[in-house]
Structure 1
Amino acid sequence: MSTRTHAWLPAASCGPGCIAAGAAAAGRRPVVMLRVALRATLTILLLPTLPLLAVPLPGRSHLQRRYCRVVLRCLGIRITVSGGPVRNLPGVLVVSGHVSWVDIFAIGAVMPGAFVAKAEMVGWPGLGTLARMMKVIPIDRDDLRRLPEVVRAVADRLRAGRTVVAFPEGTTWCGLAYGPFRPAMFQAAIDAGRPVQPLRLSYHHRDGSRSTVASYIGDDSLLTSIRRLVTARRTVVHVRVESLQLPGEDRRDLAARCEAAVRGTPSPNAAWAAPACGDGHALVA
């Protein structure tokens, strides 16, 4: 994973200590090898079906949700969905905290749409192809002067009735700690006059404890992240659908309301304190 090159870029200070804090034993070596072989085989068999996501078939949204669920299952991840109903409204901005590239499949299994993602992801093998097919809106974190262009592109998609997914933290965190929601992307919802749907994502081990297995942080490479995921025992991602937020006129207020919903705080101004993860960051409740 690339590291921060400018002081004004969003960056998480999560590191190996965070991974250790949310780790769990993978099991006996023969079992781990069998697990990895099975998951790798299923994932490879799934790759030839990628073009189906680009075909404008009736019910494509349903197909995307099913496909993302199958991808998660192949990687050893189960998904649970709770909270409010998923409203099939046109032109909704979906926001959540950001832990990993896996978030794309977790959210796609619930509310598929075009993702705002870092430009380098489009060049990744496999995932890059999927990103292009799902019409990812790339954002270059090394040239944030182009951020207004991205905001306009998101607003145009929303006006056209498309669902757009963004990660307002601007970077990934370990899943135990989190960063503040930055207000820039919320301007697109205000400009388009469209609502925002906050989703609360969290990764867990089978026993319900928090997991950092899926995280993509620090000096992680994509291969390292995938290896950690397919080696682990079953991971569960919880997706909670929070209350839909009307855009209003103040992007900072909208960002604060959505962050409060995603964090589970009672109000945007509520005090928040929690234990620390492996690198000394506040834990997510």
Structure 2
Amino acid sequence: MSSHQHVDNVWLPRASCGSHCHAADLAHASRPAVVALRAAVRMCCVVTLMAAVPLLAVPLPGKSRVQRMYCRIMLRCLGVRITVSDGPIRNLRGVLVVSGHVSWVDIFVIGAVLPGSFVARADLIEWPALGFLARLMKVIPIERTNLRRLPDVVRTIADRLRAGQTVVAFPEGTTWCGVGYGSFRPAMFQGAVDAARPVQPLRLTYHHRNGAPSTVPAFIGDDTLMDSVRRVITARLTVCHVAVQSLQLPGGDRRDLAARCEAAVRGTDNRQAGDHALVA
């Protein structure tokens, strides 16, 4: 299954990223024998860990802690390490978490920091392994080509936020390589405005172990899921840095809220420290 559906739609975001974004990273591959061994070990670990997915649906005390631990272990199995910096992670109920969107790996990265219900493309439910995980995690499906369903998605987000649940959304509407990125669409933010709940922006950046930007995890262009997984598990090491930005109060204008959160995620505006932000 490719990462994009080529459907003509005025609203549907279309990234300019493609296979050319991976070219520089693919040039740094290790020797074939080393890569094959690395991939085999990691894939065995991933498959073994996937067998424990049903445990995430069990309503036990400390479930969010279990989810965070599971996602961290999964990332290690994939060869991905995470670091967290900047603001504190607030233990708030009913918060909308937003970030830029690079890859399916983002789901595990955010799950390791702030687990919640994800707003994700509807066909994710059909993906092998990840689809089963999506159903267990009560993913909110969104049909990006069907605008008539969008109000239902927004209402679901608002209802879950009012119920004290954490909801995670990717407002770009599609994946980018991580070096290039798109604009935040305001629709998802209406749920936070309607529920009068704050938004937690996260800045996710992927790097090689030497600190250079990495496009290895990017799920873009004509990538299939297996192509993307193969690229991640054969890479020597991928580091995802998570920068926790100031919590944004919803206000009454979804476009203003989207702009403030985008500025916080990109690090391009100091308004996040103003009247609409909760500064640590």
**RMSD, aligned α-carbons:** 1.2
- The 1-side partners of 2:26 and 2:161 are apart by 39
Aligned pairs (5 A) from 1:86-235: 86-235=89-238
- Per the TM alignment, residue 188 of structure 1 is displaced from its structure 2 partner at its CA by 0.4
Question: Deviation of residue 3 (structure 1)?
Answer: 2.6
Could you tell me how far apart the structure 2 residues matched to 1:143 and 1:266 are? 33
Compute the displacement of 1:205 (Å).
Answer: 0.4
Output the amino acid matched with 1:136: V
How many residues align? The count is 269
Cα deviation 1:159-198 (Å, max 9, x = unaligned): 0000000000000001110000000110100000000000
CA contact 1:119–1:138 (8 Å) conserved in 2? yes
Separation in 1, partners of 2:23, 2:271: 31
After TM superposition, give the deviation of residue 266 of structure 1 in Å: 2.2
Q: Is the 8 A contact 1:256 1:268 kept in 2?
A: no
> 1:52-94 CA distances to partner (integer Å, 9 max, x unpaired)?
1000000000000000001100000001111111111110000
Native 8 Å contact 1:121 1:131 kept in 2: yes
Deviation track 1:111-156 (CA, whole Å, cap 9, x = no partner) reads: 0000000000011110001001110000011212110100000000
Query: What secondary structure does 2:106 align onto?
Result: helix
CA distance 1:125–1:177, change in 2 (3 Å): same
Displacement of 1:23 in angstroms is 4.2
* TM-score using structure 1 length: 0.92
1:55 to 31, 54, 58: 58
For residues 27-59 of structure 1, give each alpha carbon's deviation from its aligned partner in whole angstroms, at most 9, with x where no partner exists: 111111110111011111112110010000000
SS of 2:248's partner is coil
**Equivalent residue of 1:216, what SS?**
coil
- For 1:23 and 1:149, locate their aligned partners in 2 and report how far apart those are by CA, in whole Å: 41
Tell me the SS of whatever aligns to 1:81. strand
- Residue 43 of structure 1 corresponds to 46
**Unpaired stretches in structure 1, ≥5 consecutive residues:** 270-285
Identity of aligned residues (%): 68
Quick check: 106-115 or 134-143, which moved more? Answer: 134-143
Does the 8 Å CA contact 2:19/2:222 hold for their aligned counterparts?
A: no
- 2: CA distance, partners of 1:141 / 1:250: 22
Structure 1 runs of 4+ aligned residues shifted over 6 Å read none
What secondary structure, in the 3-state scheme, does the structure 2 residue paired with 1:239 have? strand
Q: Which residue among 227, 250, 267 is the counterpart of 1:264?
A: 267
- Structure-2 separation of matches of 1:28 and 1:18: 22
Gap regions ≥5 residues in structure 2: 273-280
TM-score by length of 2: 0.94
- Contact 1:112–1:163 under 8 Å retained in 2: yes
Q: State the AA in 2 paired with 1:224.
A: D
